[in-house]
Structure 1
Amino acid sequence: MNGDDGFREFVLARQQSLMRTAYLLTGDAHLAEDLLQSVLAKVVGHWPRVSRDGNPEAYTRRALVNQYISWKRRPRPEMLSASVPEHGASYDEAALDRIVLRRALARLTPKQRAVIVLRFWEDLTEAQTAEVLRCSIGNVKSQCHHALARLRSLAPELGPMLSDPETVGVTR
């Protein structure tokens, strides 16, 4: 078994989880694929050290967040619609909540969005989130507080869901 075999096994085992994180960060399936692919291309170059250090998933998740924040610093045209798609007979309130939440998440700062994704969708503790973001636990708490307040102001219709931070990730 060569060093790349461990990397292949890691990617096969964790790809869906990492892709979900990338999607929640970017809000776009194609950008998420690009983000994950670019991060995995970098991780494979450091794989012997990363795998030896013992937590390749945490390293890769941190790399996803860092790359996402780096991408957000570069101006890119966004193709967002100002209106929610019309619903017909197959109206699904949970789907509408997901659309509204996704649009509100897109308007958060990259670090606020990363905190929300890591805390509520990835279900990381404040300490784990702080470790991934390389910041203090107090910073995570502050970013989370400000992000939830901003989500409440951007999407008041999600108020009941956002009133209890533990339910933010429920509409996955």
Structure 2
Amino acid sequence: MRERHSTRHRRRTREFEAFVAGAGGRLLHAATLLTAEPVDANPRARRLLTSALAETYARWHRLRGEDPYDRTRQELAARFARAAWRRHRPAVPGLPRPAAETGLLARLTPQERLILVLRLYEGVAEEQTAATVGLPVDRVRAICTRAVTAMRSTPPAPPAPAAPAPEVAT
């Protein structure tokens, strides 16, 4: 009995490791977009993905034909939404504020980022996105349109000032 359980556990672990090897990079990029952190410095995104993957691993034996990528993406979105709600509450005097978000989608609200990432980066249908975030389809469509417009209309960062020309000794 114990040997059979051990064999199942090893097989489950190998299957999960193969899943993470194949999908981990894309899921990390999605998490990085959600948290609006720079790609090379994304500790919140890594923590978010780690907790979503831990939940997927805990439920791995109960997936029974369910897509593990879809399940992990849903968990990632739910965890981001909960964390964003806590992070964007009014500041409490005396507590440190979170570090500034400087990533690609930093100019968007967390809700806009979540919908934009699900719809455009992940290719999730409007109806499924609406179900994931708990909003009507029309509202998801409006938020996505507003987010795309904001990303297109925001002017690029101003160019860095030119370095002064070296002086030539005469």
| CA distance in structure 2 between the partners assigned to 1:11 and 1:57 by the alignment | 9
Match of 1:12 in 2: 21
**Deviation of the 1:139 alpha carbon:** 3.2
User: What SS is found at the alignment partner of 2:98?
Assistant: coil
Please report how far the alpha carbon of residue 149 of structure 1 lies from its aligned counterpart in structure 2 after TM superposition: 4.9
State the secondary structure of the residue aligned to 2:155: helix
C-alpha displacement at 1:45, in angstroms? 0.7
Residue 45 of structure 1 aligns with an amino acid whose one-letter code is A
Name stretches of at least 5 consecutive residues in structure 2 with no aligned partner: 1-9, 89-96, 157-170
Deviation by residue 1:4-39 (Cα, 9 ceiling, x = unmatched): 221111111100110011000001211111110111
Q: What is the aligned partner in structure 1 of residue 114 from structure 2?
A: 114
Cα separation, 2, equivalents of 1:120 and 1:133: 15
Asked which structure has the greater CA Rg, the reply is 2
State the AA in 2 paired with 1:19.
Answer: L
Deviation at 1:100, TM superposition (A): 7.9
Q: Unaligned stretches of 5+ in structure 1?
A: 82-98, 159-172
The 1:134/1:49 distance shift into structure 2, 3 A limit, reads farther
Q: Distance in 1 between the 2:130 and 2:51 partners?
A: 23
> Structure 1 counterpart of 2:98, which letter?
E
| Counterparts of 1:136 and 1:53, CA distance in 2 | 28
Instruction: Show CA shifts across 1:26-79 (max 9, x none).
Output: 0121111111011111111111112x1321111110100100111112237222
Correspondence for 2:53 among 18, 40, 53: 40
Structure 1 position 126, deviation (Å): 2.2
Whichever residue aligns with residue 14 of structure 1, its letter is A
Moved over 6 A (4+): none
The equivalent of 1:137 in structure 2 is 137
Partner of 2:80: 68
The equivalent residue for 1:103 is 106
Residue identity over aligned pairs, in percent, reads 28
Q: Give per-residue Cα distances to partners, 1:64-105, cap 9 Å, x unaligned.
A: 010011111223722228xxxxxxxxxxxxxxxxx6853313
The answer on whether the counterparts of 1:58 and 1:132 sit within 8 Å (CA) in structure 2 is no
Query: Is 2:124 the partner of 1:124?
Result: yes
1:31 aligns with 2:48: no
Give the letter for the 1:130 counterpart.
A
- Which residue in 1 is equivalent to 2:155? 157
| Contact 1:61 1:132 survives alignment (8 Å) | no
Distance 1:72 1:145 in 2: 21
Distance in structure 1 (CA, Å) of the matches to 2:87 and 2:128: 30
